[in-house]
Amino acid sequence: MENVRVRFAPSPTGGLHIGGVRTALFNYLFAKKHKGEFILRIEDTDQGRFVEGAEDYILETLKWCQIEPDESPKHGGDFAPYRQSERTEIYRKYANQLIENGRAYYAFDTPKELEEMRERLTAAKVIKPQYNTVTRSTMRNSLTLSEEEVKKRIESGEPYVVRIKVPKDEEIRLKDLIRGWVKVNSEDIDDKVLMKSDGMPTYHLANVVDDHLMKITHVIRGEEWLPSAPLHVLLYQFLDWEETMPQFAHLPLILKPDGNGKLSKRAADKAGFPIFPLNWADKESNETAIGFKETGFLPEALINFLAFLGWNPGTEQEIFSLEELIEAFSIERINKAGTKFDFDKAKWFNQQYIKSTSSSVFAEDLRSELAEKHSITCDPVISKQIIDLLKERVTFAEEFLDASLVLFQHPTEYDEGVRNKKWNDEAPIALKLFSDKLERASIESPEQVKDLFWHTLESNGYKPGQFMQTLRFVLTGKGSGPDLMTMIQIMGSKKSSERINYSITLLSNNN
């Protein structure tokens, strides 16, 4: 496959939904698999819904996700401009061509007239009341008005739109790379608006013109655009571009966790998980939403998770680097059916990536947060050891801070269940023996701590295994947690001894 060019074409009408990121990812993987180009095009023709900051947000998201485009409004390219609002004259040219060739027409109908038409059709029990091959003959357009009247109306500045002239009773076919052949009768397609009264094109005209001029070879987009695909095929035919028409692939929907309907922001908010990749703040509506990044996700984990929403490699492997995803990806392995959004699975991916990431990546952030939020000074070597200790037990990187405080602060609460079960007359005596030995010891490894604990208790007639949880209890106030001997080694002999003595005194006085 040569000269593959794909595009991700979002509208800057708000924060980029995680489903949009999945679409961008699949386009990126396909392009890179075939040594092609991944293009970002901003489809901002709907100026009424334009949201300030949305375009920058899209670019920042793709950069954080490590799937940056080869061409975009920011990166430039041979087919600039990449914002549709800067290409209006191009679209006007092709709209005029369609009119001249009898493939489109002017329509002067007012919103009131359009509503009256729909009401008449509804009253006549027409299932789909729309502007089509039948109703166009009853409306005010260049098909029912004289050429002179049309010219007069345009010159007077009367508002109008340009509509495609859908042929009567023709089969329109396209082969979708995921769904196979799609066949639609033209009677089921209405005469969509191609150019709006404000002079801006609709998505239908703009995306077809841009895909052709930008030499897009494959259109990989969401399933919601599948009903529009036959109309786009017609436009390729009407503009004599059928031979260079891109191949289509419509991705399956991302469903709510219960599988009941398409995933939405409302559903995500209700379930308590993010739906935007980065924090999103809408200046106009004051809408704010936390992102996956700020929740604590690593970009590699999010990308790995999203890749499995509707695609599978055909193997048991689940953890993929971006390079491995590129190598394994194929459109043939994309599912037709919708895929459930499983946030627990997303968290599992994040856990795996935290475990496999070098501790030094998180260590400096931990040091900074300890100093800034708790006035705790932590040696670089110690901070790395803390990350090593906690990596198996956290889901998000932000959990390292709270989980590490037990190594620097005395317990403020003690688990009553463990206390009732483990704190007896022998406990303070046995642990004080170990504390005294520990205070004077030089400890360099968890194994040394364990040997010292075992030898001290056994030599004094105690069974060490009976006091392991009690030792954790006096050190942390809890009955479970990270490796206990490693914790003591990190805390150091003297601080660990102090902690044990502190808890023994407190617990004994409270008996």
CA-nearest of 470, 472, 496 to 484 is: 472
Cα 440 to Cα 434: distance, rounded to the nearest angstrom: 10
Strand partners, 72: 76
Contacts of 7 (CB under 8 A, 6+ apart): 27, 38, 39, 40, 41, 210, 211, 214, 216, 219
Strand partners, 6: 38, 218
From residue 322, how far is each of 222, 327, 338, 449 by CA, in Å? Answer: 22, 9, 23, 42
Residue 391 structure tokens: 């990596």
152 is catalytic: no
> 3-class secondary structure for 307-346?
HCCCECCCCCCCCCCHHHHHHHCCHHHECCCCEECCHHHH
Cα 503 to Cα 477: distance, rounded to the nearest angstrom: 9
From residue 45, how far is each of 81, 191, 202, 468 by CA, in Å? Answer: 13, 19, 7, 68
- How does strand 161-164 pair with strand 193-195? antiparallel
Active-site choice (63, 215, 262, 265):
265
What values do phi and psi take at 24, rounded to 5? Answer: -60, -40
Contacts of 131 (CB under 8 A, 6+ apart): 107, 109, 114, 117, 139, 163, 190, 191
Strand partners, 171: 185
CA-nearest of 144, 167, 145 to 237 is: 167
From residue 43, how far is each of 31, 191, 205 by CA, in Å? Answer: 20, 21, 11
End-to-end CA distance of the chain: 78
Cα 40 to Cα 82: distance, rounded to the nearest angstrom: 7
Give the active site residues.
265
